[in-house]
Amino acid sequence: MARGKMIYEGKAKILYEGPDPDTLVQYFKDDATAFNAQKMEVIGGKGALNNRLSEFFMQGLMQIGIPTHFIKRLNMREQLIRRVDIIPLEVIVRNVAAGSISKRLGMEEGSQLPRPIVEFSYKDDALGDPLVPEEYISAFGWASQHELDEIVSIALRVNDFLSGVMLAVGIKLVDFKIEIGRVIEGDFQRLIVADEISPDSCRLWDIKTGEKLDKDVFRRDLGNLADAYTEVARRLGVLPSNTPKPGKPTLVN
């Protein structure tokens, strides 16, 4: 499928026009960035892994009735998605304290939170995606109060789904970020899960060992990021068959 002209380049993905006006082609890059792109590296294989993993999670969500932007995977690095009007919020759900909440509240990383906590950052790289209260979101018109209620409900359903899927393969879902977009369907406007769901935007810890299997491996220099993502994909049974595997080639009869 021929992709159209590039319409946006982000830190880890590029968006191109799709075959019709309601679609886009989402291309997953190998670039890893952290600390608002102050740390950058190209990690061979990351794009292909995130393309597969995001496909896997989005398809699972759709199977339980949560609409997403995913239409189909096109090849190793690209997927066809619905064009949405992105709500300028990072919707973060936390089950266990880690990262910014630990710093902000002086909580030890790994402390179980009393219940899943949903929080919002305003998407603005120049401002460093500041945490914002719900009051700002409706007051500044980023989303209506009604949309906000639905976003929280979607976020908690996504949390239950992802937590269960990860638990089944021995991984604890510590926290994650999603983005939500608006689409028009007939006379109605609807909210759907957009962007990506991958180890770039989740914290995933091995339940037995506590080993980190997410982007913190890169942020905190804990080892090889592609190996960590490969392990997540392997456990979920979604390893791309043509991703080069580390180690010596073996003769296949």
* Alpha-carbon distances of 183 from 82, 84, 137, rounded to whole Å: 8, 5, 19
In the complex with ligand UDP, the residue whose CB is nearer, 101 or 193, is 101
Kindly state the number of chain residues that form the binding site for ligand UDP, as judged by CB under 6 A: 14
Q: Please name which of 118, 69, 120 lies closest in space to residue 90, comparing C-alpha atoms.
A: 120
CB of 99 vs ligand UDP, minimal distance in Å: 2
Which residue's Cβ lies closest to ligand UDP? 99
Characterize the bridge pairing of strands 131-132 and 85-86: unpaired
Which window, 110-118, 142-150, 198-206, 233-241, contacts ligand UDP (CB under 6 A)? 198-206
**If you ran DSSP here, which 8-state letter would residue 68 be given?**
B
Which parts of 155-184 interact with ligand UDP (CB under 6 A)?
A: 175-177
For residues 38 and 18, give the distance between their C-alpha atoms in angstroms, rounded to a whole number. 31
Which parts of 129-158 interact with ligand UDP (CB under 6 A)?
A: 129
Q: Please name which of 52, 54, 82 lies closest in space to residue 192, comparing C-alpha atoms.
A: 82
* Contact between 215 and ligand UDP per CB under 6 A: yes
- What residues pair up with 72 in beta bridges, in sequence order? 80
* Contact between 49 and ligand UDP per CB under 6 A: no
Which x/- pattern over 80-109 shows residues binding ligand UDP (rule: CB under 6 A)?
A: ----------x-x-----xxxx--------
For residues 45 and 23, give the distance between their C-alpha atoms in angstroms, rounded to a whole number. 25
Q: What are phi and psi of 40, to 5 degrees?
A: -140, 145
* Contact between 202 and ligand UDP per CB under 6 A: yes
In the complex with ligand UDP, the residue whose CB is nearer, 100 or 243, is 100
* Contact between 29 and ligand UDP per CB under 6 A: no
Question: How long a stretch of residues is the chain?
Answer: 253
Judged by the rule CB under 6 A, the positions of this chain that interact with ligand UDP are 90, 92, 98-101, 129, 175-177, 201-203, 215
